[in-house]
Chain A
Amino acid sequence: EVQLLESGGGLVQPGGSLRLSCAASGFNFRDYAMSWVRQAPGKGLEWVSSISGSDEVTYYADSVKGRFTISRDNSKNTLSLQMNSLRVEDTAEYYCVKEFEYLDTLDYWGQGTLVTVSS
């Protein structure tokens, strides 16, 4: 059974930093690209960042480019998102998501971790 368990969310002041982690199990982690998707309160889903499986090529939404860094540790089946220079508009539930490239879809989602940026 695929499981994705996020951690690291919390309250941070504008300009601060936070690191999210996602522990993956139930599949061969290194074979799959992974993404972070967020949902701000009362808003829709927004793709944040993706990382490929083995060669670890990264992609970012324009809204977070230069501030967020996605990474993975295939030896520990862990996905991370380092978030710097946080803004109020980064407040959201952040989901760790597994990609299934064969069907070009996001097939498994974690339960999410809440990030609140407020003074």
Chain B
Amino acid sequence: SSELTQDPAVSVALGQTVRITCQGDSLRSYYASWYQKKPGQAPVLVISDRNNRPSGIPYRISGSSSRNTASLTISGAQAEDEADYYCSSRDSSGYQWVFGGGTKVTVL
């Protein structure tokens, strides 16, 4: 298997932009997906395939990827964006999934 590394926590002022990153060798072969997790709720897919946004996910959430790093950007952060964000991808075998440790986003 392989590992994905995320910063544990970031904060952003209301209405400002924040970018969180995810690094790992598997990202050289597979795109990352990003999941939003709020306490007591199931994870929600917010970005897949580098920058594919599922229906209902606001345009202010976007993704990008370069080499072994994937990024999630929240432009104009809102109070409802406060959550834990996890990146994930296939591992090097292509059959298993690996998750980052999660980034707690606090909106000030």
Contacts and interface: CB of A to CB of B under 8 A. Distances in A.
Q: Is the interface of A mostly helix, strand, loop or mixed?
A: strand
Interface stretch (A44-52, A71-79, A82-90): A44-52
A107 B45 contact: yes
Contacts of A105: 33, 45, 48-49, 88
Nearest to A45: B99
A17 interface: no
* Number of chain B interface residues as a range: 20 to 34
Interface string B13-26: 00000000000000
A103 B52 CA distance: 9
Given A45-B88, A61-B96, A95 B43 contact: yes
Interface string B74-108: 00000000001010111000011111111000000
A50 B97 contact: yes
Contacts of A47: 88, 96-99
The 9 closest A-B pairs by CB, nearest first: A105-B48, A47-B97, A105-B33, A109-B42, A44-B102, A45-B99, A103-B49, A103-B48, A44-B101
Given A46-B99, A104-B49, A106-B88, 9 more contacts: A44-B101, A45-B88, A50-B97, A59-B95, A103-B49, A104-B30, A104-B33, A106-B35, A109-B45
